[in-house]
Structure 1
Amino acid sequence: MQEISQEIDFSEQNLEQDINQDICNSVISIDDSRGETEGKTVCNLNISPAENTPKSRSRTEKKISYQKLNFDSSQTKITDFYKICEEIKSQILKNATLNKAFSTSANIFCENRQPEMLNNECQKLGPESFFEMLIRAVNKNSSESSSANRYPDELKNLCLYLFLTSGRLAYETLVANIPNGLPSVSTLSRSLSKNYEKCGEGELAFGQLKEFLEKRNYPLRIFISEDQTAIVRRPRYDQSTNQLVGYVLTNLEHTGFPKTNQNLINSVSNIKNIIENSDLAKNAYVFMAQPLQDGAAAFCLTLFGSNNTFTHEDVLLRWKYIQQETTNYNIVVDGISSDGDSRCLKAMKIIAGLPAFSKQETPYSPYFQANFDINNLVPIQDTVHIATKMKNRLLNEKIVLKMGNYEVSKDHLTDLINTVSKDKHLLCLSYLDSK
C-alpha cells in the first residue's frame, strides 16, 4: 500500500509539472507591427484544483490516466497563430473597408450594453485576441498584491459573459487556475451593478423596454414569450432593496402579476412572519420581449419566483395587463407565445375563440377555425414544442395521425429512408426511435 501511494503522489506531481510546462511553452513572443521581436513573456500560471477540494480516488486515477496519454510535443498551439493575428490586425487598421466592417461587428457585440456606453466602449474594441489581454493582465498583476489587481474593461466584459453563460462554479475554477489573470466574482458583480440597471423581482420594465427599442432604432413592435425553469429553493437577503427574496409573492387581482416590495425587512418579527407564512419559490418565471427586428436581442420584461400554482385566468390577466401598459408607451404587442403548459394553452384557446363554428360546412369545422382579428395579439405555442408533439404522435404506434384524407405513420418514413437517397430527405433510421 505504501508503494502504491508513493506512486500516485509521484504521478500527481509529474502531471502538474507537465501541465505548467506545456502552458509556459505555449506563451511565445509576439511580433509588433514593425516586425521587431520582444522578449519571451514570463508565464506565472499555476494549474491547480480549487483550494480545499477533496482528492477522491477516482480523481487521482483520472490524473494518472491523463499522464499516460501520449501528447505530440510538436502539436500546434493557439499562440502559434499570434503572428498571423498581428498581420490581420495590421491589415484591418490599414484598410478602411475592413476597419468599418470590424467596427460594425464590434457594435453588434456590444448590443446589450447600456446605450450611452456604446460609443465609448465599442470604439475601444480592436482586433486583439482574448489571450493577449489575458497574458498582459497576468504579467501586470503578478508584481502587485491581489487587492491591487486591475483589469481592462474589455476583459471584464468577456469574463462577465463567461460567468453568466457557464455559471459560478465553472468561472471560480478558472479563476483558481489562472491567478491574477481573471477578475474575481465580486469584481464582476460590482461591474454589473455599476453598468446595468437593476430590475426588482416582479417589476415590469416597460419604460426601460421603450428606451431599449428607441436607442437601437428598433420598431416599437414586440412579441412576448414566457416560460419558467426550476431553481434552488433558498431564501436570500437583498441588501440593495432591503428585502427577503426567494419567496413566492402574492398576485394582484387586477394584473395577475406578483405584488412588488412585499417582503421588506423592518424588524425581527417581520422576518419571522415572512418565513412562517410564505412558500419558497421552486421556479423562476420569466417574461421576455422580442423586438421584431432581424438579429435583435430579447429584453427581459420581468422575472419573479413561482410555486407553479396559477390558473389560466391569471395568464389572461397578465396578457391583458401587458397589452394595456405597452399601449401607454406606444408599443404594439403583435403576439404572445409559451410552451405546452395546459394553462397557457387554455388561455390561448379562449383568446383565439376556438372552436369557432362556421355557417358553411367544411371537412375541418369546427375544430380548425378561429376568430382571427388582425388588431388583436396572436397567441401561439412555440414551434419547437409543436414540432416535438407532432413527432411524438407520428412515432407512437398506438396513435393514428391523420393528414386530410390520409393516415400517416412511422412505416411511411421507414419506406422513404430505405428507397430514397439521404441527400433528398436528410433522415436516418435513428431519428425514428421514439426514445
Structure 2
Amino acid sequence: MNSQKRPFAAIFSSTLDDAETSKRQMKDALYTESMVVESLDDNMSDKISPYQWSIESDEPTQFEAGCTSFSNDEPVMSDLVTVDITQLSHDTLCCDEESGNGEMLKLGSCYGTADRSTRDLEGRTITSSNTIDILSNVSSRSAKTRGQGMRYTMLEKDLFTYRFIQGVKELYEFDRANTPSPHIRTVQRYLSKSAECSTEGKLIIKELKEYLERNRYPLAICWSEDATRITGGIEYNLNEDKLSGLVAPIGTNGMPIMNLFKCSSPRKVLADIQDNPIGRNVQLCMAQPICMDAAPFCILYNCTNNKFSTTDVLNKWNFVQAEMDKEDIKVVCMATDGDSRFIGAMLKKMKLPNHNDNPFGAWFVSNTNNDSLCVQDPTHLANKFRTRLVNQTKQLILGRFQVSKIHLEKLVRDVSKDQHGLAEGALSDKDKMKFRPVEKITSEQVMSSLDQHIPLSNGTVAYLKIISCIISSYMDPSLSPSHRIFNVW
C-alpha cells in the first residue's frame, strides 16, 4: 500500500477552558476529513491522516496531538504538535514552532482545505480587484475536495451571499450550476445569522446610529425617499404570524400603522384582505451619511397604493426629525423626486416663498433662519430633463432655437462615435430610470460635437449644459461652494 498523503489541521471554533471538551473537539476536528489544511513543514516526508489521532496530556489548558500516516501497511506516528488552548482564538490553528511543524495560522472562518493564497485573502473586504482572486481560489480548492467536504471562509461567504441577494434564487442557482459555489441553503443560513429582518413600517434609528458610529461617520444624514413599482401580492409571515403585502392606513404622525394584519383568526384574515388594498408600490426611505463613499442605510420601507397627501408627508418628516433628535442625529436635508405632494411639502417646510426682507435682496425668497434644507433628488431631476428631451410629442423652444432629440440622432448617424462617444441606446425613452444615458448626452464631447457638426443645435447644446450644471453642482465633490451656487443659479 502506497503512503497516503493527507493534510492535517486542528481547527477550533472558540476558546475552550475544559480539557475534556478540548480533547473531544480535537478528536472531532481530526476525524473530519473536510476540516483540513496543508502542513507548513516542507521537510516532512509523510502527510498526516485525519483518521488516526492521539491526544496525551493532563494539563487543563495544553495537550499534545499527533496523527499517523500509513507506510507499507504499518502505522507511523508523526511528530507531536503542542496545542495551547489559551492561545486559540476563533478558528485558529496553533503549532509549536520548536517542533518544526508549522506556525500560527489565522484562518478566519476557513474550514476547508486552505493554502497561502487563502490566508492572504483573509481579512480583506470584497472589491472588484480581488473578486476574481477569491473565485479562482474557491475553484482550485473545490477541485481538490471530494463530496461535501468543501468549506468556505467568511470573505467567500460574504461574496456568495451578496451574489444571492443581488440575483435572487434563480440567478444564484444558474451561477452554482456553472461555478463552484456553496449550496443555496448554506447561503440562506449564513444570511439569517448575519442579518436581521427589519419590520415593514418601522423606523430603525438606533440601528442607523450604530451603523454611523461603527464606521466613524458623523451623526448627520441626508433623508431621501421614493416609491418604486412592485408586483403586488399577499404573503403570510410565519415568524411574526401576520400578513404582508397589504397597504396599512397612515396614522396622524404620517407613518403607516403597524401590526394591523395579525392572523389572530380566519375571520380577521378574510376581513383584512377584503378591506385593505394590495400594495403595488413600495416606499423606500434611505439615510445617506454625510461622508464620501459611504453606503446609504435603508431606514424605513412600507407598501403603498400611492394615496397620501402633502400633510401626510409633512407629518412624517416632522416625526422623523423628532425621533432623530432623540438619538442626536442631524437631518441635513430632505431629498425626493418631483412628485407634487413632496414638492408642496418642501415649500411648506422651507416656508417658501418668503417675501419678508432678507440680507440677500428681493430676489432671494428663502427663509435664512430655516435649519431644514429640501432638495429634489439630482438623479431624478436630471432624468426628468432627459425624458423631456427625448419625448417628441411636445416641442421645446429656447429663444429662437429649438431643443430637439433630432440633433442628437443626426450626430449619432452622421459623425463617427470616436468623436462623441454616443450611441442610439442613450436616446431611447424605454427606460426612464437609467442615469448613465444622462451622463453620456451631457458629456463635453457630445456638446462640442453638436457645435461643430450639427447646424442650428444651439438650443439643444444650451439645454444639455443646463443638465450638466445640475449634475455637477450636486454630485461633483471637487467643486467649491461658490462654483456650486453658480451652477445651480
TM-score tier by shorter-chain length is 0.5 to 0.7
The equivalent residue for 2:444 is: 425
Q: 216-225 vs 266-275, which deviates more?
A: 266-275
| Preserved contact between residue 283 and residue 302 of structure 2 (Cα < 8 Å) | yes
The equivalent residue for 1:164 is: 165
Identity within the alignment, % = 28
How far residue 206 of structure 1 moved from its aligned partner, in angstroms, is 0.7
Counterparts in 2 of 1:205 and 1:408: CA distance versus 1, 3 Å: farther
| Preserved contact between residue 397 and residue 403 of structure 2 (Cα < 8 Å) | no
* 1:211 maps to 2:216: no
Question: What per-residue deviation string (whole Å, max 9, x for no partner) do you get for residues 233-259 of structure 1?
Answer: 111111221111111112111x21111
The equivalent residue for 1:316 is: 314
Pick from 270, 274, 277: which aligns with 1:276?
Answer: 274
How far residue 271 of structure 1 moved from its aligned partner, in angstroms, is 1.7
1:302 partner SS: strand
| Preserved contact between residue 246 and residue 281 of structure 1 (Cα < 8 Å) | yes
* 1:387 maps to 2:376: no
1:285 & 1:410 partners in 2: Cα distance?
Answer: 34
AA partner of residue 348 (structure 1): M
Pick from 385, 395, 398: which aligns with 1:398?
Answer: 395
User: Which sections of structure 1, spanning at least 5 residues, go unmatched?
Assistant: 1-31, 36-87, 94-98, 110-124
AA partner of residue 139 (structure 2): L
| Preserved contact between residue 218 and residue 290 of structure 2 (Cα < 8 Å) | yes
The equivalent residue for 1:354 is: 352
2:313 partner SS: helix
TM-score by length of 2: 0.55
| Preserved contact between residue 89 and residue 127 of structure 1 (Cα < 8 Å) | no
| Preserved contact between residue 394 and residue 409 of structure 1 (Cα < 8 Å) | no
AA partner of residue 326 (structure 2): N
2:259 & 2:282 partners in 1: Cα distance?
Answer: 17
| Preserved contact between residue 126 and residue 155 of structure 2 (Cα < 8 Å) | no
The equivalent residue for 2:154 is: 153
Question: What per-residue deviation string (whole Å, max 9, x for no partner) do you get for residues 372-420 of structure 1?
Answer: 33x522110011222334455677773444xxxx776538x969x99xx
Q: Provide the aligned C-alpha RMSD in A.
A: 4.3
1:203 & 1:346 partners in 2: Cα distance?
Answer: 25
More helix by share: 1
How far residue 190 of structure 1 moved from its aligned partner, in angstroms, is 1.9
How far residue 267 of structure 1 moved from its aligned partner, in angstroms, is 2.0
How far residue 34 of structure 1 moved from its aligned partner, in angstroms, is 12
How far residue 216 of structure 1 moved from its aligned partner, in angstroms, is 1.4
User: Which sections of structure 2, spanning at least 5 residues, go unmatched?
Assistant: 1-38, 43-115, 422-442, 464-489
Question: What does 1:7-406 correspond to in 2, within 5 Å?
Answer: 106-107=124-125, 128-137=133-142, 139-140=144-145, 142-144=146-148, 150-178=151-179, 181-253=180-252, 255-357=253-355, 365=363, 369-373=365-369, 376-391=371-386, 398-401=395-398
AA partner of residue 366 (structure 2): A
2:181 partner SS: coil
| Preserved contact between residue 125 and residue 155 of structure 2 (Cα < 8 Å) | no
Q: 260-269 vs 210-219, which deviates more?
A: 260-269
1:363 & 1:410 partners in 2: Cα distance?
Answer: 33
1:342 & 1:304 partners in 2: Cα distance?
Answer: 20
More strand by share: 2
1:238 & 1:328 partners in 2: Cα distance?
Answer: 31
AA partner of residue 143 (structure 1): G
The equivalent residue for 2:17 is: none
AA partner of residue 371 (structure 1): N
